[in-house]
Structure 1
Amino acid sequence: MTSSSSTRGAAKWALLSLAIGSFGIGMTEFVIMGLLPDVARDLEPTLWASDPDAAIAQAGILISLYALGVVIGAPTIAGAVARYPRHRVMLALALALTVFNALTVFAPTFELVAVSRFLSGLPHGAYFGIGALVAADVMGPGKRAKGVAFVLTGLTIANVVGVPLGTFLGQQVGWRAAFAVVAGIFALAAITIAVFVPAHDGDKGRTFLAELSVFTVGQVWLALGSGAIGFGGMFAVYSYVAPMITEVAGSPAWSVPLVLVGMGLGMTVGNLVGGALADIDLRRTILGGFIALAAVLSLLALTMTGIVLLAVFVFGVGFVSSMLSPAIQTRLMEVAGDNQSIAAALNHSALNIGNSLGAALGGAVIAAGLGFVAPAWVGVVLALAGFGIAAVSYGIERAATRTPDASGLKQSA
């Protein structure tokens, strides 16, 4: 074996190790959405007996708490560990994810499960943010984007394979079994990271306060806002897709994993298409993407009573939302100046604010008695709001370009 091929092999093993962890993150974040009825029945038996819809809405809080953990953990952890060796940081994050997901398996009450879900979300954004830097360093100049994409592949594959299989397992054996599998995946990731990810000294010159200077850039806030609110439209549907399938379309529970496979495929394809379109025209991809998301959510709401059309438009929701994901990531890094690492983590904060917002508002309209179609209409409103924020961002940027001193929101050089 040549030295060059040996180096390439080592890089692939390092990237695979990181991708195993991203697979686990995708599974732990999304598998609960297909298991909400099972979680509600187990953890809220009294409420379930009297009002199953209200019990499901209550269980939706677990989704919001995970997302809140991501929002808080991404900038604080990424900023705090920027100066430490990255391979050790990644190992610590993988171990934390192992422990916190194991807590979900064994927590006996709704309140303790809620705490475990919040804790599980804390390392999420930092794992992807620091992992992206590790992947870029492993691949070297000219191949950095490929390295980052390979790590993110674990997340997309989780939506195609891990989430549907975890949902099926949870339905057959019990919802806790799905999280036991997740904890095992993170344990495997920790082992492979310890063995295969090369040492990296980190950036000893970076401080927590220096990293947080990204929040002084006004356009960063607008980019985060468009992603957080606009993506809430997708999560308003994704959070309650299981009861939409069983209660509105009248399909059996075994069809839920099949629809989730379709959504995962839509996410995978959409991510690839969105990256290509963003390279061609970032502004049109973002603005057009939010309009397309609002349109497909409207079609889903209007046709949800039929399982075939529901599956088609759920695929569409996955496709369009994931098409937007790399575009918003690019926009955020475009306006973040020198703070690329924390910007990468903040993207996941924005997406999980959308996760929390969509799940909370979707649960609110269900609890109000408006039924399981209502979250799709909530999604339409959120997608259009995301479009509005993105349009304002680009409008301010154009104005600032014409009169550079007119706006404090102008992107820093």
Structure 2
Amino acid sequence: MKKSLFPLLLGGLAIGTTEFVMMGLLPDIAANLNISIPVAGHLISSYALGVVVGAPLLVMIGGSYPPKKILLGLMVMFTVFNTASAFAPNNLMLLIARFFAGLPHGAFFGVGAVVASRLAEPGKQAQAISVMFAGLTIANLAMVPVATWVGHNYLWRYTFGIVALIGIITLLFLYLWMPALPANRTGNARSELQIFKSTETWLIILITAIGTSGLFCWISYIAPLMTEVSGFKSANVSYILVLAGFGMVVGNIIGGRLADKFRPVIATAWLLAAMAVTLLCIFLFSGNQILSLLLTFVAGALSIALAAPIQILMINTSKGAEMLGAGITQAAFNTGNAWGAFIGGIPISMGLGFNWPSLVGMLMAILGVGFTWVLIRRSTKVAV
């Protein structure tokens, strides 16, 4: 791994921790703030909404600045509002803090993806981007379980203090090791917005926002799924999240290699199809503890394997506005996050079991496959 990519990995670690730790802490936050688990799930949606708003907005505002300055500014914002999350006195203030903490998320990954591709060797752009997303996988393998354990056994507020500390460390390494690349804006905000006139752009947004929402239907409620359906003790949830994180480590490597070896759109189609099958199996077999653990690993792997192919797909489609395109992809991912957490909570609110969100997720993944098929048909004459 290039030294210059390490600050991006750290940023991915910080962002991945704050995004995914909420899934394991929902019962603890709900109990502490005296709200229901579906209502606590709105905290996931609030953060995701912040990503959706912040990704294109902050990229367009900062697009004329050198990438290093943009990344430093985004990480300062991230650290401040995660600190605010730790001190939020009630559910409303926590919702607001989570929204603002989400604003720099998509922009950081969007700018970081373009920076990684510029620093990569020819033909290895997706693998360079996967280094940044490796931070997400390490977060889920190590930091999320640790932070979940801390929040469950002590207080959930300490978790966000840990996230803020990682943010400070990320700032240090961005300052020390991130190369001072020049700004690479060839047009202006108005000209870059022309990418929204492309049908291909909207198809990728739909693939990302709807297809990946299936994942978030499942993972948003993984803690009660494992305790109420699979029959694990609450104390074991942290270890189960380690297993999901290990799956993400494996999936990130696979996704990066698939996107460099095959057309990203083809890799995306197969990964979404595999996700649909896996989510159906989670719905059917979560009552079996061994199968539940195996499916947790597989679903974790598929979740992050999609990241690099979809990111490269959008960058290739957004010529002249790559940074904005990459930021939009992150906004779409977190639209899927918010939408998945919301619709996944509907069957729970109706009194159905905690395995039902995965069935809803399967339907979303199938829709994603459908949009990918349309994109493949449109790209038969020009490779995407």
The structure-2 alpha-carbon separation of the partners of 1:140 and 1:330, relative to structure 1 and needing over 3 Å to count, comes to closer
* Equivalent pair of 1:17/1:197 in contact (CA under 8 Å): yes
Residue identity over aligned pairs, in percent, reads: 37
Matched residue, 1:37? 27
Amino acid at match of 1:229: I
Q: Which amino acid aligns with 1:319?
A: A
Match of 2:229 among 228, 234, 248: 248
- For the 8 Å contact 1:289–1:324, the answer to whether it is kept is yes
- State the one-letter code of the partner of 1:347: T
The answer on whether the counterparts of 2:130 and 2:308 sit within 8 Å (CA) in structure 1 is no
Structure 2 length normalisation: TM-score? Answer: 0.94
Cα distance, 1:343 vs structure 2: 1.6
1:348 maps to 2:330: yes
Q: Partners in 1 of 2:242 and 2:29 — Cα distance?
A: 21
What letter is aligned with 1:34? Answer: G
8 Å contact kept, 1:83–1:206: no
* 1:336 lines up with 2:326 in the alignment: no
Per-residue CA distance 1:71-124 (angstroms, 9 max, x = gap)? 111111112211112222111111111101001000101000000111011101
Distance in 1 between residues matched to 2:221 and 2:143, nearest whole Å: 18
What is the distance in 1 between the residues matched to 2:157 and 2:43?
Answer: 14
1:133 alignment partner in structure 2: 114
Shift of 1:147: 4.2
Q: Secondary structure at the match of 1:107?
A: coil
**Is the alpha carbon distance of 1:222 and 1:145 closer, same or farther for their aligned partners in structure 2, counting shifts above 3 Å?**
closer
Contact 1:304/1:373 (8 A) holds in 2? yes
1:387 aligns with 2:377: no
Q: Match for residue 326 of structure 1?
A: 308
The match for 2:72 among 86, 91, 98 is 91
Change (3 A) 1:15 1:281: closer
Match of 1:52 in 2: none
| CA offsets 1:164-219 (integer angstroms, 9 cap, x no match) | 11111111111111111001110111122223323334136542222222211111
Find the counterpart in structure 2 of residue 397 from structure 1. Answer: 379
For residues 123 and 201 of structure 2, the distance between their equivalents in structure 1, rounded to whole angstroms, comes to: 27
Query: Per-residue deviation at 1:370?
Result: 1.4
- Please identify runs of 4+ aligned residues in structure 1 that moved more than 6 A: 140-143
Which runs of 5 or more residues in structure 1 are unaligned? 1-7, 48-54, 402-409
Equivalents in 2 of 1:283, 1:298: separation in Å? 23
Contact conserved, 2:130 with 2:256, CA < 8 A, in 1? no
**1:165 maps to amino acid:** V
What is residue 166 of structure 2 aligned with on the other side?
Answer: 185
1:27 is aligned to 2:17 = yes
- 1:295 aligns to 2:285 (yes or no): no
Q: In 2 relative to 1, CA 16–289 (structure 1 residues): closer, same or farther, beyond 3 Å? A: closer
Distance verdict in 2 for CA 1:129–1:230, change over 3 Å = same
**Correspondence 1:67 to 2:48:** yes
Q: What letter matches 1:122 in structure 2?
A: L
Q: Which deviates more, 304-313 or 56-65?
A: 304-313
Structure 1 CA distance for aligned equivalents of residues 194 and 219 of structure 2: 34
The alignment of Structure 1 onto Structure 2 pairs a total of residues equal to 383
Deviation string, structure 1 residues 45-86 (Cα, Å, up to 9, x no partner) = 2x4xxxxxxx00000001011111111111111122111122
* Letter of the structure 2 residue corresponding to residue 18 of structure 1: L
Distance in structure 2 (CA, Å) of the matches to 1:296 and 1:142: 31
> Taking structure 1 as reference, are residues 287 and 260 closer, same or farther at Cα in structure 2, changes over 3 Å only?
same
Do the aligned partners of 2:114 and 2:326 also contact (CA within 8 Å) in 1? Answer: no
Describe the shift of the 1:286–1:172 C-alpha distance in structure 2 as closer, same or farther (beyond 3 A): same
Partners of 2:361 and 2:122 in 1: CA distance:
40
Match in the other structure for 1:5 = none
Q: Distance in 1 between matches of 2:246 and 2:326?
A: 24
SS state at 2:183 partner: coil
Alpha-carbon distance change, 138 to 297 in structure 1, aligned in 2, over 3 angstroms: closer
CA–CA distance in structure 2, aligned partners of residues 165 and 284 of structure 1: 36
Name the structure 2 match of 1:375. Answer: 357
1:257 pairs with one of 219, 238, 241: 238
Q: Does 1:152 align with 2:133?
A: yes
1:103 maps to what in 2?
84
Residues 354-373 of structure 1 aligned to structure 2 (within 5 Å): 354-373=336-355
In the alignment, structure 2 segments of 5+ residues that lack a partner are none
Partner of 1:4: none
Q: Is the 8 A contact 2:45 2:337 kept in 1?
A: yes
How far does the alpha carbon of each residue in 1:120-162 deviate from its partner, in whole angstroms, 9 at most, with x for none? Answer: 1110111112223334455676775554333322122111111
Query: What is the identity, as a one-letter code, of the residue corresponding to 1:368?
Result: M
1:406 corresponding residue in structure 2: none
| Shift in Å, 1:411 | 9.1
For 1:28, the aligned partner's letter is T
Q: What is the deviation of 1:325?
A: 2.4
CA distance in 1, matches of 2:280, 2:123: 42
8 Å CA contact retained: 1:227, 1:328: yes
- Bigger Cα Rg: 1
SS of the aligned residue for 2:212 comes to: helix
